[in-house]
Amino acid sequence: MEATVPGHADTHAHGHHGHPPSGLMRWVTTTNHKDIGTMYLWFSFAMFLVGGMMALTIRSELFQPGLQILEPERFNQMTTLHGLIMVFGAIMPAFVGFANWMIPMQIGAADMAFGRMNNWSFWLLPPAATLLVTSLFVPGGAAAAGWTLYAPLSVQQGMGMDMTIFAVHILGMSSIMGSINIITTILNLRAPGMNLMKMPLFVWTWLITAFLIIAVMPVLAGAVTMILTDRHFGTSFFNAAGGGDPVLFQHVFWFFGHPEVYIVVIPGFGVVSQVVSAFSRKPLFGYASMVYATASIAVLSFFVWAHHMYTVGMPVGGQLYFMYATMLIAIPTGVKVFNWIATMWRGSLSFETPMLFSLGFIFLFTMGGFSGLVLAMAPVDVQMQDTYYVVAHFHYTMVAGALFSAFSATYYWLPKWTGHMYNEKLGKVHFWLSLIFFNMTFFVQHFLGLAGMPRRIPDYALQFTEFNQISTIGAFGFGLSQLLFLYNIITCIKGGPKAPAKPWDGAEGLEWDLPSPAPYHSWETQPTVK
């Protein structure tokens, strides 16, 4: 049995079995999956606040028509960095944090397969974030080409773009290393008896996500490397003056970009599947179909990229293909939504905070999915391209999708991590405020988009003022509500009612067999799953 647990041998080798070194060096040198998971989560929360401040700056500028607080260049830098930081700095690291904490505990492994690489994966993130944030202060300012870094803008801007490219390289390296670690852990370190089709959905969705990451992050790295060599080394991949094609960048970028949006949300599917099942006190309806649906979404994501590009110039045949392929994704997604609803059907439901956030996820993510179907239609998209309708659509999937599922996961597993129960009342207040302010911020943006307000512009026509003011007030409400979340977590870490090993009576899975808080080293003897 000992031989089956490389992580076990590892901890002996590093000589801190059971006793982590104290102080800062514990965090710098740690190879423990729980420490690294914690660092990932705090890092992503810090980035969430930084990206959130940028969002509030954008919304402040848009409170009134005309230019008030930002030059147009700064405004574009804000939208660019907000996107990059939220996607690569907040959402992705948050889910890698959950993966680090929960995957070894859920599959009965002592630790991640490669502790040292895990440490590296995390410690690459702060330098990348520093590059992104400090690029605001260099001459010419930060990258302002949008998070998609479209050529030719990205080929022309100042050194802020170089810093962004380097940051994207580092972030990509980090997530590739993290994914390789996760795949190896899941495929090789499962407890005896836990075959693939017995894995919790969160583990399954992460396995699929990790494969997506190692398939597409290198493509993004290639795309930004091409921009870098176009900028400094005389190549002409995207430079039309040298025979390149800027549209090529969009193809390469979205070959990465569309799978990327599923990378962001698929682990959230796993969280919601487990939470809905736990708080319905029923096994997940259609487990196998959930696995296959997730895998189909992942596979399909490679074949739909140009639906982001209907208006750049594409023959009708191409538009038709990408339109139908995109609509096809609604089928596996629909399977998932129906399975969640069927799981709740006649369940013994209770509505603690994790469940509330998961329900919010299902409701709002489905709305985001529907506006996605609207945008998938090429003739409609021609009207909507680059309007606030698109902004509303992807915030329904990214915020109400990925972020709400991350909140759900945090509340669900917080008792396991800290050994204390969080303040349930405060959690519910956090949920309701988030739900109301989220919709206040983004629902009205559908109307703005339909009326033709373009995105990424700091000014707008007078008739858009009311909806923009509603949206800005909502954004500030949403941002401030997150401070409740922070307060709730800090008080939960510091104290609170003692959490039992299994605080949710409907929850299933190996992690609940461990005491709360989970010991620093868990599953040194692998459990056996029947």
Partner 1 sequence: MKVITITDNRKLVAKLVLFSTLMFGFGYALVPFYSVFCALTGQNQIGLTDLPTNTQVDSGRTVNIEFDANVHDMPWQFHPLQSQVAVHPGEVTQILYEVVNTRNVPVTGQAIPSYGPKRVAEYFKKLECFCFERQTLAAGERRRMPVVFVVDPALPKDIGTITLSYTFFEVEGIHAASPSSGQGGA
Can you give the binding site for partner 1, defined by CB under 8 A?
3-4, 6, 9, 113-114, 176, 179-180, 183-184, 187-189, 192-193, 214-223, 226, 237, 245, 247-248, 251-252, 255-256, 313-318
Beta carbon nearer to partner 1, 48 or 147: 147
Whole-angstrom distance, CA of residue 164 vs CA of residue 380: 33
User: What does the DSSP assignment read for 29-47?
Assistant: H---HHHHHHHHHHHHHHH
424 is catalytic: no
In the bound complex, what is the minimum distance in angstroms from residue 51's beta carbon to partner 1?
A: 26
In the bound complex, what is the minimum distance in angstroms from residue 323's beta carbon to partner 1?
A: 15
User: What does the DSSP assignment read for 361-400?
Assistant: HHHHHHHHHHHHHHHHSHHHHHHHTTBHHHHHHHHHHIII
336 is catalytic: yes
481 is catalytic: no
273 is catalytic: yes
| Tokens, residue 281 | 């006190």
147 is catalytic: yes
**Which one of 8, 34, 82, 169 is the catalytic residue?**
82
**Which one of 273, 326, 371, 481 is the catalytic residue?**
273
198 is catalytic: no
**Which one of 205, 333, 353, 418 is the catalytic residue?**
333
307 is catalytic: yes
* Amino acid, res. 419: G
Whole-angstrom distance, CA of residue 390 vs CA of residue 83: 14
**Residue 415: is the preceding peptide bond cis (ω within 30°)?**
no
Whole-angstrom distance, CA of residue 165 vs CA of residue 149: 9
174 is catalytic: yes
The 3-class SS string of 454-491 reads ECCCCCCCHHHHHHHHHHHHHHHHHHHHHHHHHHHHHH
Beta carbon nearer to partner 1, 253 or 285: 253
In the bound complex, what is the minimum distance in angstroms from residue 80's beta carbon to partner 1?
A: 21
251 is catalytic: no
**Which one of 44, 121, 174, 408 is the catalytic residue?**
174
175 is catalytic: yes
Closest-CA residue to 291 (of 338, 258, 335) = 335
In the bound complex, what is the minimum distance in angstroms from residue 299's beta carbon to partner 1?
A: 15
In the bound complex, what is the minimum distance in angstroms from residue 223's beta carbon to partner 1?
A: 6
DSSP lists the bridge partners of residue 387 as 454
- Report CA torsion sign: 15, 17, 21, 27: positive
420 is catalytic: no
DSSP lists the bridge partners of residue 82 as none
Radius of gyration of the chain (CA): 23
Beta carbon nearer to partner 1, 128 or 507: 128
**Which one of 61, 260, 381, 511 is the catalytic residue?**
260
Beta carbon nearer to partner 1, 74 or 251: 251
Beta carbon nearer to partner 1, 192 or 495: 192
In the bound complex, what is the minimum distance in angstroms from residue 214's beta carbon to partner 1?
A: 5
In the bound complex, what is the minimum distance in angstroms from residue 173's beta carbon to partner 1?
A: 10
Beta carbon nearer to partner 1, 159 or 247: 247
User: What does the DSSP assignment read for 409-441?
Assistant: HHHHHHHHHHSB---HHHHHHHHHHHHHHHHHH
Beta carbon nearer to partner 1, 215 or 414: 215
**Which one of 34, 307, 416, 521 is the catalytic residue?**
307
262 is catalytic: yes
Residues tagged active-site? 82, 111, 147, 174-175, 258, 260, 262, 273, 307-308, 333, 336, 455
